[in-house]
Amino acid sequence: MDNFRKNIETINESKASLFGKDFLLSWDKTDAELEMLIHVAEALKNLYNNNISTRCFETGLAVSQFRDNSTRTRFSFASAANMLGLTVQDLDEGKSQIAHGETVRETSNMISFLTEIIGIRDDMFLGAGHTYMKEVAHSLEEGYNEGVLPQRPAVVNLQCDIDHPTQSMADLMHLKNYFGSLENLKGKKIAMCWAYSPSYGKPLSVPQGIIGLMTRYGMEVELAYPEAYDLIPDVINVAKQNAAKSGGGFKIVNSMEEAFKNADIVYPKSWAPYSVMEKRTELLYANDKDGLKELEKHCLTNNAKFKNWECDAAKMKLTKNEEALYMHCLPADISGVSCAEGEVTKDVFDKYRIETYKEAGFKPYVIAAMMLSSRFKDAAALLNFMKDRNTKRIYGI
């Protein structure tokens, strides 16, 4: 349990606190808060691996609201809630009064009487997902202050139009584990690259989350995409500011090969251009099905011009010692497997498949850490209590 003790010492020394706070955007949190969160997640993982129960709620709900499809994040949220002792209840808008025009303020309060956490995924509408989460948070605050709610549930962003913090924090934990420490990330080059996909309309939040977070740790972040496949300008500015503050670097190029050159980490991932997502949002709001079909046709045709933006063995040879770490949020579009032509070739993906699974495996602990840190004032004391209580997670082992 040496690593556990080091985690607790670091949490105590940081004096950071996320108690009573939502987790909506990673760049809204201080460096100390993010590092504390990582150590809480690592401590939880240590306890779990040593068959020690991390149950800290006797009752309570963790409400999930997924406005888009999900596998990894949905199950990570459920796993995290269960690990802490909460029961997951999915808010299905089609089976609720939301379909009949119930307001966000009313819904937020009605689902929260015995709720501790609300996790929301809303990444379909550019300019709407993050705004919706803030409205839910404001409604909860209002309900708690007016005595309607006995506690103020914390809101966790499970992916919005701007950021995907549970993914980027899991990625950061993976990098910390792979390279040995956060300090060892300083000076490492990560290539966050657009990659070809035969599908249309993938959110911007993963690449934005990566450039918004990794620039805080002194990394050389290189963002690569074909011309016109840019991201939200405000997030680009966040990355530039973070890089200047941390002593790292941030650069935009229009060549996958240039980004891969001498990279320590590569992250080839498809996304839709910022301008396309703006237009798509307008059409979705207008329920213009014909317009959406025409936009999709145009975008797929344009995507097809860049089929050479594929992570293959030749490009991997351009990386540091020809052995850069390949990362992906999954599921990847694998050429010859899940599609004819896609983001990554089968040989490259197979080589790093286990590492991508390990990368995904940090997400339940990140989400659990967000839950625990937001609902308990002294995370270190609670973690120590769990260890000393020594309740077996599985009896007979």
The structure's pTM equals 0.96
- Chain centre to alpha carbon of residue 202: 15
One-letter amino acid at 42 equals E
Q: Which residues contact 265 (CB under 8 A, 6 or more apart)?
A: 175, 188, 189, 190, 191, 324, 325, 326, 327
Q: Is 202 exposed, middle or buried (0-12, 13-18, 19+ CB in 10 A)?
A: middle
Average pLDDT over residues 350-371: 98
- At residue 92, the pLDDT reads 85
- At residue 214, the pLDDT reads 98
Q: How many CA atoms lie less than 13 Å away from 171 in the CB half-sphere?
A: 27
Q: Please name the helix (run of DSSP H) or strand (run of DSSP E) that holds residue 366, with its range, or none.
A: helix 363-375
pLDDT, one tens digit per residue, over 187-213 is 999 999 999 999 988 999 999 999 999
pLDDT, one tens digit per residue, over 110-122 is 999 999 999 999 9
Q: Is the pLDDT of residue 99 over 90?
A: no
Average pLDDT over residues 345-349: 98
CA atoms of 250 and 270, how far apart (whole Å): 20
Average pLDDT over residues 37-65: 98
- At residue 124, the pLDDT reads 85
Percent of the chain with pLDDT over 90: 94
Q: Is the pLDDT of residue 337 over 70?
A: yes
- At residue 1, the pLDDT reads 80
Which of 89-93, 147-151, 322-326 is predicted least confidently? 89-93
Cβ atoms of residues 303 and 200 within 8 Å: yes
- At residue 95, the pLDDT reads 67
- At residue 93, the pLDDT reads 81
- At residue 94, the pLDDT reads 74
pLDDT, one tens digit per residue, over 131-186 is 999 999 999 999 999 999 999 999 999 999 999 999 999 999 999 999 999 999 99
CA atoms of 164 and 72, how far apart (whole Å): 13
pLDDT, one tens digit per residue, over 22-33 is 999 999 999 999
pLDDT, one tens digit per residue, over 65-82 is 999 889 999 999 999 999
Query: Sign of the C-alpha dihedral, residues 159, 163, 168, 170?
Result: negative
> Does CATH place domain 165-360 in 3.50.50.60?
no
- At residue 186, the pLDDT reads 98
- At residue 100, the pLDDT reads 61
Strands 115-122 and 61-66, bridge-based pairing: parallel
The two tokens of residue 53 are: 């129960």
CA atoms of 361 and 7, how far apart (whole Å): 19
Stated length of the chain = 397
CATH no., domain 2-163+363-389: 3.40.50.1370
Average pLDDT over residues 243-260: 98
Q: Tell me the average pLDDT of the chain.
A: 96
Q: Is the pLDDT of residue 101 over 80?
A: no
Q: Is the pLDDT of residue 18 over 90?
A: yes
- At residue 270, the pLDDT reads 97
Query: Sign of the C-alpha dihedral, residues 190, 202, 368, 151?
Result: positive
Percent of the chain with pLDDT over 70: 98
Rounded to whole angstroms, what are the CA distances from 219 to 37, 107, 264, 317?
20, 42, 10, 21
Domains of the chain: which residue ranges? 2-163+363-389, 165-360
Cβ atoms of residues 221 and 251 within 8 Å: yes
Q: Which residues contact 258 (CB under 8 A, 6 or more apart)?
A: 222, 224
Average pLDDT over residues 280-289: 92
Domain 2-163+363-389 and domain 165-360 have a common topology: yes
